[in-house]
């Protein structure tokens, strides 16, 4: 059996190994034991019941609270070659009947249903005639009044399973369960001596921050500008805020869409798809958006308002970084939020299934949760510590990866990075804004092209192409803050005396915060080409881009550069089915870009040995700088060299000739001549 399980994991899912907790839960179910899996969002709970479902005879029922996400989950299973379907009230009658007919005949290995189905006439009858070895209860916290998404129909699950011809094995799964909720799940679902697995709630790749900016809108725009090429979610407390924030960001030129319950279903679906398919980078939404949305490449979740509870916060924030890449969870807090949250609690729709006493209880619990949320927003201690403790976990006092820990951590030396940027500013004649300089550092040509110089010929062009854009911006901001760089009235970056100290190695620059997010990239070009291919497939086949391949799978492709379908299938997240289906297209793209990625720019450059080479490019560069004892990025002109240059210029030599004599780029020569007042 173990071999079979592993076979499915690698062949069907394309994963090399189980993540923490998965194996115990899969094996428990396969031994016909009930299980309870409490694992954070993104940790891979689906696989825990799906693998047993494939190995059991008959059809596994998955009870899942949200109709809107069933389709995605089923699509994602079909993409792995698994027969699956869903039944819910939102379906056309004919479609429902056909699916139910197929299901009754045992056509599906996995059938998703909403909890309300269990009480629908005919459904139980149908299930009694089916072979149902396993009932998986997803988002099991919905069964508890202490959970933030209490769904009374979840309470009917034990009745339903007891009425089946044979009691199935029951697996319960949730991401957010405080100890009280955990107890409710065990009791209310009537789990029998379950194998319980609680994996750490900690998501080390998430960085937590709380800011209380004076101007929230400005703070938000700044945060987004740093993340221009990334995808993220902004949560607002009210529909009104969603509308206002979305239209303001749209006006500022961001790629943004919105989602809240007040929109027409058609528009909601369209907007959600725009975001899932990467047609829009930013989703501004109320908490109506996101439950179970499997978009793995969300790089940040910003809360424009404080939510009502830490459960809600952690769940929403946890939608960032599901691909395992570094991601930011940022809460923008203002005291006014507490008042809004309290108002929302007081005016929430009463649940018609609850008695007045129960209603009052629920409200009281809401108040208490809000208190803890506020406590977090004002905390001066490690935010990760606060969160984990709230969910009943022990945690170290400091994590070095949250906004309360980071001020204590060491400064990072950014001298070399600063030299790269400052010399780029110098060589491009101090005529560009930070936006353009960032592009140049990444190796993107500005449009329209500038007159007089060809940035692609400069040694600084593409020098930081193994950095994240946000990172470069962060460094530029630090340089501006510390006075090593200036911005004129037109937002053009200018050098000053201080800059020279850094450039000539007389002073070192440092910055708070680690240099996060630098990724192992063979070529950003290939990554972007693969993203484009994914986008094309996702548009054509109407599947969410991240359900096809996650960003981390694409990164792995760039790193591993598979040569054939067999190697392709072994890449994490790929699997045999997808490798066969899309292999030709993917391999073609890799083939096209592979040889070009590292070498391409080198050939274009005249003096080019400074584009980082493939491995450890940046480190190698830094070593070279340190070895040379000065900055490679900007070799200062000596007086002698200046005099020689003047003589040669006056003797009528062309820039090209000068460039060869001085072993400097034409741009550098022109810039020096200008400085000397000769052109």
Q: What is the DSSP letter of 637?
A: P
CB of 52 vs ligand ADP, minimal distance in Å: 14
Please report whether residue 399 would count as binding Zn ion according to CB under 5 A.
Answer: yes
Q: How far apart are CA 481 and CA 472, in angstroms?
A: 14
With CB under 6 A, what is the number of residues at the site for ligand ADP? 18
Give me the least distance between CB of 313 and ligand ADP, in Å please.
Answer: 16
Q: For ligand ADP, which residue of 294, 311, 386, 434 counts as binding (CB under 6 A)?
A: 294
Taking CB under 5 A as the binding criterion, the range among 399-407, 447-455, 575-583, 589-597 that sits at the site for Zn ion is: 399-407
Q: Does 395 bind Zn ion (CB under 5 A)?
A: no
550 binding partner (options Zn ion, Mg ion, ligand ADP, none; Cβ < 5 to 8 Å by kind): ligand ADP
CA–CA distances in Å: residue 655 to residues 460, 603, 646, 658, 663:
19, 21, 12, 5, 12
Q: Using CA atoms, how far apart are residues 61 and 164, in angstroms rounded to an integer?
A: 12
Token pair belonging to 469 = 């854009």
**By the rule CB under 6 A, 534 interacts with ligand ADP:** no
Using CB under 6 A, which residues numbered 321 to 340 contact ligand ADP?
Answer: 322
Least separation, in Å, of the C-beta of 231 and ligand ADP?
15
Q: What tokens were used for 42?
A: 């993104």
Closest CA to 283 of 294, 296, 298: 298
405 binds, among ligand ADP, Zn ion, Mg ion, none (CB under 5 to 8 A by kind): Zn ion
Write out the E strands in 448-543: 486-487, 493-494, 510-511
Q: Which is nearer to Mg ion, 233 or 422 (by Cβ)?
A: 233
For position 610 contacting ligand ADP by CB under 6 A, the verdict is: no
Least CB distance to ligand ADP at residue 402 (A):
22
Q: Among candidates 679, 573, 635, 558, which has minimal Cα distance to 19? A: 573
CA distance 38 to 141: 10
Our CB check for ligand ADP shows the closer of 21 and 455 to be 21
- The first and second tokens of residue 75, run together, are 């699509």
**Polymer length in residues for the chain:** 679
**Chosen residue from 5, 10, 12, 18 binding ligand ADP by CB under 6 A:** 18
Q: Which of residues 471-490 bind ligand ADP (CB under 6 A)?
A: none
Stretch that binds Mg ion, among 45-53, 78-86, 598-606, 661-669 (CB under 5 A): 45-53
Can residue 44 be called a binding residue for ligand ADP (CB under 6 A)? yes
Shortest reach from residue 393's CB to Mg ion, in Å: 20
Number of residues interacting with Mg ion: please give it, by CB under 5 A.
1
Concatenated DSSP letters of 559-574: HH---SHHHHHTSTTT
Quote the CA–CA distance of 125 and 123 in Å, as a whole number.
5
Residue 41 interface partner, choices Zn ion, Mg ion, ligand ADP, none, CB cut-off 5-8 Å depending on type: ligand ADP
Among 5, 21, 35, 46, binds ligand ADP (CB under 6 A): 46
Residue 41 found at the interface with ligand ADP (CB under 6 A): yes
Based on the shown chain and the rule CB under 6 A, indicate whether residue 65 belongs to the binding site for ligand ADP: no
Stretch that binds Zn ion, among 4-12, 404-412, 541-549, 578-586 (CB under 5 A): 404-412
- In terms of Cα–Cα distance, which of 438, 441, 259, 227 is closest to 325? 227
The three-point CA angle 378-381-382 to 5° equals 115
Candidates 19, 156, 248, 501: give the one binding ligand ADP (CB under 6 A).
19
In angstroms, rounded to a whole number, what is the distance separating the alpha carbons of residues 301 and 234?
Answer: 6
A 10 A CB-CB count for 121 gives 6
Q: How far is the CB of 401 from ligand ADP (least distance, A)?
A: 21
Q: Specify the residue for token string 């946000």.
A: 470
**Which has the closest alpha carbon to 521: 441, 609, 598?**
598
Cβ 603 vs Cβ 535: under 8 Å? no
* C-beta separation of 488 from 397 below 8 A: no
Name the binder of 18 from Mg ion, ligand ADP, Zn ion, none, CB < 5-8 A by kind: ligand ADP
Pairing verdict, β 327-332 and 298-303: parallel
Tell me, rounded to whole angstroms, the distance of Cα 625 from its chain centroid.
Answer: 34
Nearest residue to ligand ADP, by Cβ distance, number only: 44
Whether the bond between 585 and the residue before it is cis, its omega within 30 degrees of 0, is: no
**Which of 41-49, 127-135, 331-339, 466-474 is the region at the interface with Mg ion (rule: CB under 5 A)?**
41-49
Q: Is 146 helix (H, G, I), strand (E, B) or coil?
A: coil
**Of 17-25, 235-243, 369-377, 478-486, which segment contacts ligand ADP by CB under 6 A?**
17-25
Nearest distance from C-beta of residue 12 to Mg ion, angstroms: 17
Binder to ligand ADP among 153, 178, 209, 296 (CB under 6 A)? Answer: 296
Is 43 near ligand ADP (CB under 6 A)? Answer: yes
The residues binding Mg ion (CB under 5 A) are 45
The residues binding ligand ADP (CB under 6 A) are 15, 18-19, 22, 39, 41-47, 294, 296, 322, 550, 572-573
The residues binding Zn ion (CB under 5 A) are 382, 384, 399, 402, 405
């Amino acid at each position: 059996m173990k071999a079979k399980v592993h076979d499915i994991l690698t062949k069907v899912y394309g994963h090399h190994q189980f993540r923490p907790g998965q194996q115990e839960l899969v094996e428990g179910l396969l031994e016909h034991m009930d299980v309870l899996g409490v694992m954070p969002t993104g940790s891979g709970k689906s696989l825990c019941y799906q693998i047993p479902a494939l190995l059991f005879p008959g059809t596994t029922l998955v009870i899942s609270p949200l109709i809107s996400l069933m389709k995605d989950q089923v699509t994602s299973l079909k993409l792995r070659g698994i027969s699956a379907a869903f039944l819910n009230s939102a379906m056309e009658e004919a479609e429902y009947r056909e699916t139910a007919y197929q299901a009754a005949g045992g056509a599906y290995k996995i059938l998703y249903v909403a909890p309300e189905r269990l009480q629908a006439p005919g459904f139980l009858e149908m299930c009694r005639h089916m072979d149902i070895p396993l009932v998986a209860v997803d988002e099991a916290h919905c069964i508890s009044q202490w959970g933030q998404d209490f769904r009374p129909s979840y309470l009917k699950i034990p009745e339903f399973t007891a009425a089946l011809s044979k009691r199935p094995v029951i697996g319960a799964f949730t991401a957010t369960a405080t100890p009280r909720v955990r107890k409710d799940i065990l009791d209310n679902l009537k789990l029998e001596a379950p194998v319980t697995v609680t994996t750490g709630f900690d998501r080390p790749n998430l960085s937590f921050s709380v800011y209380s900016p004076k101007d929230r809108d400005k703070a938000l725009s700044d945060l987004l500008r740093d993340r221009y090429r990334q995808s993220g979610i902004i949560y607002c407390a009210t529909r009104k805020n969603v509308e206002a924030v979305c239209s303001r960001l749209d006006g500022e030129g961001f790629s943004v869409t919105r989602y809240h319950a007040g929109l027409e279903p058609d528009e909601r679906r369209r907007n959600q798809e725009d975001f899932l398919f990467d047609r829009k980078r930013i989703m501004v939404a109320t908490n109506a958006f996101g439950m179970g949305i499997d978009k793995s490449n969300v790089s940040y979740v910003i809360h424009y308002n404080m939510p009502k509870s830490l459960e809600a916060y952690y769940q929403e924030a946890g939608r960032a970084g599901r691909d395992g890449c570094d991601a930011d969870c940022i809460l923008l807090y203002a005291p006014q939020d507490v008042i809004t949250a309290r108002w929302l609690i007081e005016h929430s729709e009463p649940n018609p299934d609850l008695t007045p006493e129960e209603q009052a209880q629920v409200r009281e619990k809401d108040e208490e949760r809000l208190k803890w949320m506020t406590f977090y927003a004002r905390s001066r201690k490690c935010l990760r510590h606060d969160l984990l403790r709230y969910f009943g976990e022990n945690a170290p006092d400091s994590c070095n990866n949250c906004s309360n820990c980071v001020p204590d951590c060491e400064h990072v030396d950014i001298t070399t990075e600063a030299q790269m940027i400052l010399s780029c500013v110098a060589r491009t004649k101090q005529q560009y804004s930070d936006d353009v300089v960032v592009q140049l550092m990444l190796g993107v040509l500005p449009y329209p092209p500038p007159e007089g110089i060809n940035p692609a010929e400069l040694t600084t062009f593409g020098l930081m192409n193994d950095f994240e854009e946000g990172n470069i911006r962060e460094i530029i901001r630090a340089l501006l803050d510390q006075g090593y760089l200036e911005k004129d009235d037109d937002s053009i970056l200018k050098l000053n005396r201080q800059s020279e100290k850094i450039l000539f190695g007389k002073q070192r620059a440092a910055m708070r915060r680690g240099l996060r997010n630098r990724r192992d990239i063979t070529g950003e070009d290939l990554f972007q080409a693969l993203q484009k291919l994914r986008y094309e497939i996702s548009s054509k086949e109407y599947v969410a881009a991240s359900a096809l391949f996650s960003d981390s799978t694409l990164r792995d492709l760039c790193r591993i550069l598979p040569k054939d379908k067999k190697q392709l299938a072994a890449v994490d997240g790929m699997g045999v089915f997808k490798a066969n289906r899309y292999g030709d297209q993917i391999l073609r793209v890799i083939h096209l870009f592979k040889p070009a990625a590292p070498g391409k720019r080198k050939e274009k450059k005249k003096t080019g040995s400074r584009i980082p080479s493939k491995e450890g490019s940046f480190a190698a560069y830094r070593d070279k700088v340190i070895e040379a004892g000065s900055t490679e990025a900007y070799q200062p002109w000596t007086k002698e060299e200046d005099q020689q240059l003047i003589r040669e210029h006056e003797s009528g030599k062309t820039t090209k000739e000068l460039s060869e004599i001085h072993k400097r780029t034409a741009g550098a020569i022109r810039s020096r001549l200008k400085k000397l007042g000769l052109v």
